[in-house]
Structure 1
Amino acid sequence: MAKKSVIARNEKRKALVEKYAAKREELKKAGDYEALQKLPRDSSPSRVRTRCVLTGRGRGVYEKYGLCRQMFRQLALEGKLPGVRKASW
């Protein structure tokens, strides 16, 4: 499980991205890169990390499900993910 502070920091970044999205788009269209640099760093979408919704793990996250590989496997084996089953051939 990731530290609560790391998860909270990522949530704060998501909020900033949402807040400044329109302004960033406007400045990019105008080509005003100097004004774009003056916006908060965390308002850039590339600084947001995809994290597991259950554990907060930042690596090995399947974006389609929002789960890290360990939780995905566990839930799939328990039959809690609809349409997912173990492959066998």
Structure 2
Amino acid sequence: MARLGSVNKNNRRRQLAEKSASRRDKLKEVIYDKNVDFEARIEAVIKLSELPRNSSATRIRNRCEVSGRPRGFHRKFRMSRIAVRELGSLGLIPGLIKSSW
């Protein structure tokens, strides 16, 4: 099990990114639009840099829903490789068949 503080911090980042996503998108549209005057674009860059860093979606870490493990993450199941193997062997993941040869 991962440290609870790390999991909670990641959850806070996820909520903050979700809350400020539209604002960040609007500012980025202004920044990348070549038809907008230079001063307005610079002002948008400054406003974007004033937003909290944790409101960026790239700061979110994919973590296992079961154990909170950050590595060996399977996006399809939103679980780590270890949890997928354990729950798959028990038959708790629908559609997953354990391979054996």
* TM-score over 0.5 (shorter chain): yes
Q: Could you list the structure 1 runs, at least 4 aligned residues long, displaced by more than 4 angstroms after superposition.
A: none
User: Aligned partner of 1:49: which letter?
Assistant: R
Aligned to 1:75: 87
**C-alpha distance in 2, partners of 1:57/1:74?**
14
Unaligned runs of 5+ in 1: none
What percentage of residue pairs aligned between the two structures are identical?
Answer: 39
Q: Give the TM-score normalised by structure 1.
A: 0.93
How many Å apart are 1:88 and its aligned residue?
4.4
* Root mean square deviation, CA, Å: 1.1
Residue 73 of structure 2 is aligned to residue 61 of structure 1: yes
| Aligned-pair CA distance for 1:36 | 1.1
Asked if residue 84 in structure 1 is aligned to residue 96 in structure 2, the reply is: yes
Alignment of 1:10-25 (within 5 A): 10-25=10-25
State how far apart, in whole Å, the 2-side matches of 1:23 and 1:73 are. 40
Taking the TM superposition and a 5 Å limit, the aligned residue runs for 1:22-61 are 22-31=22-31, 32-61=44-73
Alignment partner, residue 3 of structure 2: 3
For residues 8-31 of structure 1, the C-alpha deviation after alignment (integer angstroms, 9 at most, x for no partner) is 100110111011101000000010
Cα deviation per residue 1:52-77 (whole Å; 9 max; x = unaligned)?
01100011111111110001001111
